[in-house]
Amino acid sequence: MTIILYQDKFLPREQGQVDMEDRGYQFGDGIYEAIRVYGGKMFLLDLHMKRLERSARELRLKLPYSLEHLTDNLNQLIRQNQINEGLVYFQITRGAAHRQHLFPDHIESVLTGSAVSLPREETLRPNGIKVSLVDDIRWLRCDIKTLNLLGNVLARQEAHEKGSEEAILHRGATVTEGSSCNVFIVQNGQLVTHPADHFILNGITRLHVIDLAGKLNIPVEERTFSTDELYHADEVFITSTGAEVKPVVQIDERVIASGKPGSITQKLMNAFDEEVARIKAAALY
Amino acid sequence: MTIILYQDKFLPREQGQVDMEDRGYQFGDGIYEAIRVYGGKMFLLDLHMKRLERSARELRLKLPYSLEHLTDNLNQLIRQNQINEGLVYFQITRGAAHRQHLFPDHIESVLTGSAVSLPREETLRPNGIKVSLVDDIRWLRCDIKTLNLLGNVLARQEAHEKGSEEAILHRGATVTEGSSCNVFIVQNGQLVTHPADHFILNGITRLHVIDLAGKLNIPVEERTFSTDELYHADEVFITSTGAEVKPVVQIDERVIASGKPGSITQKLMNAFDEEVARIKAAALY
């Protein structure tokens, strides 16, 4: 039986119900995180929790539990659902109140969470993926991980209908990020990715790949780059919690470089694989 | 007892619950309408329903019922809650499915609705209101009446904390609309308001006021105008379903013209009042 987290309680899936006047439902007034699970353990947990705190602060939304308590509950959720390789998703809304735009007084935040199995996609990676360029029409605070995701949804749908696995978004000539990932290009042995400002969500995998690159002596430049630089990059890859590091070999009808995943992308994937292997080995003891 | 509408059913308020994986709750993937009720009748119903159909079409979201059936249910909701002067609110989401950005297959839209009393604010109007200018940071499809309202919420909250009743939004030098209203200025006897493009929600009261102005031989120009034109307007007013026509006499620390509601605003308010009085008189028979 699937178990979900509702506030502080573990409930059967079908009891995961929220009020119709929850502000998450009427305004998208809430935040969320999705955390990778390897060997039954949450990966890069501290970075996710730090980002959660920041999102809450930016929206002045009260976290209903301490991070320690929340972590304990998420770990229990993973165990109860027997998740080994998977994804924990949870969201926190400002809570339920009679509909008005203003933040209501005396409102209690609402937490809902789930844990699902999600195998790693190693088998997909050897060939890389096709993506589509889509206009970035989202709001100007993409740095906050909110539930206002319709711009992301529409972009992903558009890319899907063009036969692509993901949308890469651009504002004018500037590439920002994907519908649910960050975008890196490789130029002359160097990684380039959009800076973590208000135009992108600062992905935890993005941060981790920048860290891994440092350890591998691969230089990283955080600066905006253009759609033209994207098309002419030596390599392109995307990063996300679910997809980890995934090579991009085609953008709409344009093939990137040789049309195969590049060597620097491969190095990063290998480093990532080794890390996950270590975590899984450690989890066996 | 308060009765709400859930899909096709009339339920006690406390049974108004939705699934935690409703896409309205996780993505804001839904649309809504709020319709004024005078004398127990929905005002400008056809215009609201036409806009609902357009919002659904733009998001490729399936309306769960015919407009006729929906109208019957909303009328019953008004009667069951004995609303004479009030507001009907309803929203339709894409429905519940395991979380993914892509539109899921075989998904059933979810409708929730409520009807509440809301007296007209005639007593507030003689003095007009103060508003604040706030940056418009919303997405670029404000013409669709979606549940992605966090930009509107944050703007209203900011205005409130500055002691204002509403936020007037601007992109650079251009005034777009309010957090939940449209904005008109009067210049030399003429109304000016932002055109109904992707930057604003085409308010039903906006449309109705343009219509009323025609009948009163007040010329209307739909064009963008600047914050500077706003500050130096002869008159400023806002329009919304809840607030109808409301004079604005102060923008942050700047007083507009004489600091009192202007004569053209007054003419429109009078025409509006007469219309509502006719509707209420007719409802008595």
Q: What pLDDT, in 10s, does the model give residues B57-77?
A: 999 999 999 999 999 999 999
Of all residues in chain A, the one with the smallest CA distance to B101 is: A153
**A198-212 confidence digits (pLDDT tens):** 999 999 999 999 999
pLDDT at B92: 98
Half-sphere exposure of B198 (CA within 13 A, CB side): 7
pLDDT higher than 90, residue B283: no
Cβ of B107 under 8 Å from any chain A Cβ?
no
Q: Could you tell me the pLDDT band of residue B141, with boundaries at 50, 70 and 90? A: very high
Confidence of residue B174 (pLDDT cuts 50, 70, 90): very high
Query: pLDDT class for A284, splitting at 50, 70, 90?
Result: confident
Reply yes or no on whether the pLDDT at A124 is more than 60. no
Domains located in chain B, CATH noted: 3-118 (3.30.470.10), 129-277 (3.20.10.10)
Taking the CA atoms of chain A, what radius of gyration do you get in angstroms? 19
pTM above 0.95, yes or no: yes
From the list A271, A201, A262, A267, the residue with the least C-alpha distance to A233 is: A262
Q: What is the pLDDT at residue A125? A: 66
For the four alpha carbons of A269, A272, A278 and A281, in that order, the dihedral sign comes to negative
Is residue B133 helix, strand or coil? strand
Any CB–CB contact under 8 A between B232 and chain A? no
Instruction: Report how many Cβ contacts below 8 Å link chain A to chain B.
Output: 139
Calpha distance B184→A47 (Å, rounded): 46
Contact criterion met (CB < 8 Å) for A141 and B137? yes
A179–B101 C-beta distance less than 8 A: yes
The pairs formed by B6-10 with CB atoms below 8 angstroms and a separation of 24 or more are B6/A20, B6/B111, B6/B112, B7/B64, B7/B110, B7/B111, B8/B65, B8/B69, B8/B73, B8/B111, B10/B76, B10/B77, B10/B80
Mean pLDDT of A71-100: 97
What CA–CA distance (Å, rounded) separates A106 from A93?
A: 14
Flag if B112 and A20 touch (Cβ within 8 Å). yes
Using DSSP bridges, classify how beta strands A190-193 and A220-222 pair: parallel, antiparallel or unpaired.
parallel
Contact A31, A56 (CB under 8 A): yes
What's the pLDDT band for B47 if we cut at 50, 70, 90?
very high
Q: From residue A60, how far is each of A55, A63, B236 by CA, in Å?
A: 8, 9, 32
Catalytic residue status for A145: yes
What is the predicted pLDDT for the residue at A123?
Answer: 54
State the average pLDDT for chain B: 96
* Residues 38 through 77 of chain B touching chain A, CB cutoff 8 Å: 59
Q: Is A101 on the interface with B (CB under 8 A)?
A: yes
Report pLDDT for B125: 66
Mean local confidence (pLDDT), B185-189: 98
Alpha-carbon distance of B30 to A28, in angstroms, equals 10
Q: Which residue of A has its CA nearest to B103?
A: A157
pLDDT tier, B285 (very low <50, low <70, confident <90, very high otherwise): confident
In this predicted structure, what is the pLDDT of residue B126? 75
Q: How many CB atoms lie within 10 A of CB B186?
A: 21
Percent of chain A with pLDDT over 70: 99
Distance (Å, whole) CA A93 – CA A110? 5
The residue among B27, B109, B153 with the most chain A CBs within 10 A of its CB, best to mutate, is: B153
Residue A114, pLDDT > 80, answer yes
Give me B234's structure tokens: 């002869």
Contact A20 B4 (CB under 8 A): yes
Instruction: Say whether pLDDT at B124 is over 60.
Output: no
Query: Amino acid letter at A63?
Result: L
Residue range A120-141: mean pLDDT, rounded: 88
Tokens matching residue A7: 């506030």
For A251-272, what is each residue's pLDDT tens digit?
999 999 999 999 999 999 999 9
The C-alpha atoms of residue B205 and residue B178 are separated, in whole angstroms, by 13
Q: Which of B232, B260, B5, B40 is nearest to B114 (CA)?
A: B5
The CA distance from B227 to B218, in Å, is 23
Question: Of B200, B227, B40, B215, whose CA–CA distance to B115 is shortest?
Answer: B40
- Give the mean model confidence (pLDDT) for residues B244-252: 97
pLDDT at A285: 74
Q: Given B102, B147, B150, which is nearest A160 (Cβ)?
A: B102
Catalytic choice (A50, A145, A162, A280):
A145
pLDDT confidence of residue A267: 96
B164 vs chain A: nearest CA distance in angstroms? 12
- Those of residues 108-167 in B touching chain A at CB distance below 8 A are 112, 114, 116, 137-141, 146-154, 156-157, 160
pLDDT in tens, A39-77: 999 999 999 999 999 999 999 999 999 999 999 999 999
Tell me what ipTM this predicted complex has: 0.97
pLDDT given at position A283: 87
Asked if the Cβ–Cβ distance from A103 to B153 is below 8 Å, we say: yes
Q: What residues have CB less than 8 Å from A106, skipping those under 6 apart?
A: none
As a whole number of angstroms, the longest Cα–Cα distance in chain B is 59
